[in-house]
Amino acid sequence: MNAVPVWAVLVLYLIGTVGFVQVMTQGKITERVRSWWPGLLGCPMCFGVWAGAGLSAWIFASAFVPAWVHGIAQGVALAFCVSLAADTVAIVHHRLMSGGTDVR
C-alpha cells in the first residue's frame, strides 16, 4: 500500500484551512458563533492568521498524534476543501450568468 505524499497532505490542510476561514468568517451557518467575537471572526485576514498558526501547530504536533486522528483531520480538511470549491463554482456561475456586472 502506497502512502500519501507529505506534500499532498500539506496542500489538503492548507486549502482546508482557507475553506475553514471562509466558512467561519462569511458562512451563514456560523453567524451565531461570529456574534461571540465579531472583531476576530468577522475579519477573514485576522482569523486567517490564527487559523494558520493553528495549522502550523498541528503540523508540528502531528508526529505525536495517532493515525486515526490524522484520518479524521484529513476528512474535515477535505470537507472544507469541497466547501471552498463549491463556493468558488457558485460565485463564478453567478458572475457568468449576470454578465459579469454584479459586483456582489
- What cell does 12 get? 489538503
Residue 2: what pLDDT?
Answer: 62
Amino acid at 40: L
Dist. CA 99–CA 53, nearest whole Å: 39
Nearest by Cα to 17 from 92, 89, 74: 74
Q: Where do the domains of the chain lie? A: 6-97
Residue 9: what pLDDT?
Answer: 84
pLDDT digits (tens, 9 = 90+) for 53-100: 998 898 888 888 898 888 898 889 989 888 888 888 888 887 788 776
